[in-house]
Amino acid sequence: MAAAATVAWLPAVFVLFVAQVACEYGMVRVVSESGGPKGKDYCILYNPQWAHLPHDLSKASLLKLQDWTASMLCSPSDLPAKGFSNQIPLVTRGNCTFYEKVRLAQGSGARGLLIVSKETLVPPGGNKTQYEEIGIPVALLSHKDMLDIFKSFGRAVRAALYAPNEPLLDYNMVIIFIMAVGTVALGGYWAGSRDVRKRYMKHKRDDGPEKQEDEAVDVTPVMTCVFVVMCCSMLVLLYYFYDHLVYVIIGIFCLASSTGLYSCLSPLVQRLPFGRCRVRDNNLPYFHKRPQVRMLLLALFCVVVSIVWGIFRNEDQWAWILQDALGIAFCLYMLKTIRLPTFKACTLLLLVLFIYDVFFVFITPFLTKSGNSIMVEVATGPTDSATHEKLPMVLKVPRLNASPLALCDRPFSLLGFGDILVPGLLVAYCHRFDIQVQSSRIYFVACTIAYGIGLLVTFMALALMQRGQPALLYLVPCTLTTSGALALWRRELGMFWTGSGFAKDLPQPSWAPASAEGPQLPKGSETAPPQQPPGEAQVKPALPAEQPPALTEPKDMAAAPGPRPCFQLAWLLHTPRTTNIPILQVQPSCFPGWSLGGTSEKAGSVTFAS
């Protein structure tokens, strides 16, 4: 119901966007009159409804730039005695409307007007009558750029105003697309395979802490609600207290990304043929488990990489590569650790975050004084931030086109981690279900392709609307609709919705020697009355259809009085289901004076010792 209401609001939102003041980015080319340093471009924000700017620099007039920033240009007394004939005056923003300033400038012979602003650049607006009266371009220039102009070129400068064409999409979108789809596919495949493997088999040996995988966390509806409330609260707090909280987020990212990098690289490092020696016995935290030296070196490497990024995070030339690598590792770690148990849980999480994303991108501009989206403002960093820090929870790639407008707009294209993790959890669930029903990964492949299509639609919307887009607006319908339609077509929607058929983790029996032939009994042991060992009652997991029971026994066996059999045939469930191995459970009480000497996972490898 909430999703439908949000969709119903979208047409009104788009109409309101159209009604806003039109604005475009342009450039001012500044050169010295004395022929000093080479010319330089600076960004301006102009309203084409006043007057259009030429797209080609060669067609723009190079005019004298007159510094008149000591005046607000709000009354005729602010005009110079000789006027602004064939000049572009620089005036200070404030005290009157844009129309009053540009009307006075045009009346005194100016060919354009640059208004210097110390605040955030806003489009110079007016009404239809004023637009028809004015015939010269008016634009806003930042105060920082004005200072740089006079510092670099002196006071005697000339300027030309123009608005070069910019490609709809930058080539960096291709890189972001590959990174995002690759992360979702790899993370979903890894998470699904790991989860199914842990459901059906247990490790029989403990080779140290590096062999023990982190347990996955099942997302419940309560956790979903708490998570969304926390996201909303954190986003609002960042909007109002950005300069204080941004360093907290940076610290959390350093810690989480180093953990994720360790989790991704540890399977590769464990294959190396060296560094297997362990630390000596000690009582130190973590080190008392005697980890291998190579794993300690890996942990040190991951921490160093995270620290290096933290120190040089504002180096735009190369730090983005390190941030993207750490971000991908963090996303893979989260996809492996967090698990959605049912398609119902997937639908709930994705729809709630869908509404969250749309609200904070499209609705909040009408609730803030600046008229900016809270989501975009926080993701890109407020323009009035004293720290000029950026949140690291995004994949970012610098603009690759050669357009001078790269100076105006953000020099990086961004994709938030949430736009990877949220659909990635659904992809991981699809992979687990694929293995369960042995469907040749059709759900996994279809959902991954749907994610890629949704991302392409997001890029198209970004190019057409020229403003930040809530990616989940396009990703959620694509992935949810594709997965649900595929399950409906295969007549598996019931199982897919509830996740029925997934076996619970098998309990690890303290004694369960696997033997196909059975051990030779010592003389006299046949008459020994069997006793029920403590803690023997087995937990029966819910098993898929057409699958032999895993370590099961008759329903009334545990409760039936009297002696229990010394041998009982059971099944050891492996993955895939076609590799179930019959084993023979043995009652230790049938062998008084004998102890279990060794076991193996393979049938027929049990030994006894008296």
Residues belonging to the active site: 357, 419
Q: How far apart are CA 413 and CA 390, in angstroms?
A: 13
The CA distance from 244 to 569, in Å, is: 64
**Residues 210, 270: contact at Cβ < 8 Å?**
yes
At 412, is the secondary structure helix, strand, or coil? strand
Listed in order, strand segments (DSSP E) in 314-422 are 338-339, 394-398, 412-416
Closest CA to 360 of 420, 408, 418: 418
Q: Are strands 113-117 and 87-92 parallel, antiparallel or unpaired?
A: parallel
Kindly report the number of other CB atoms within 10 A of residue 79's CB atom. 19
Token representation of residue 535: 């803690």
CA distance 187 to 421: 9
CA 338 to CA 191: how far, in whole Å? 9
Distance CA 165, CA 171 (A): 16
Element of type H or E holding 302 = helix 293-311
- C-alpha–C-alpha distance, residues 507 and 200, integer Å: 10
- In angstroms, the CA 351 to CA 183 distance is 22
Which residue from 472, 471, 470, 495 is spatially nearest to 484, judged by alpha carbons? 495
Whole-number Cα distances in Å, 390 to 56, 376, 407, 420, 490: 34, 12, 17, 19, 46
Nearest-5° Cα angle at 533, 532 to 537: 80
Q: At what angle do helices 242-269 and 221-240 cross, to 10 degrees?
A: 130
Dihedral in degrees, nearest 10, Cα atoms 343, 346, 348, 353 = -160
How many CB atoms lie under 10 A from the CB of residue 67?
A: 14
At 415, is the secondary structure helix, strand, or coil? strand
For residue 501, give both structure tokens: 């058929």
DSSP 3-state of 253:
helix
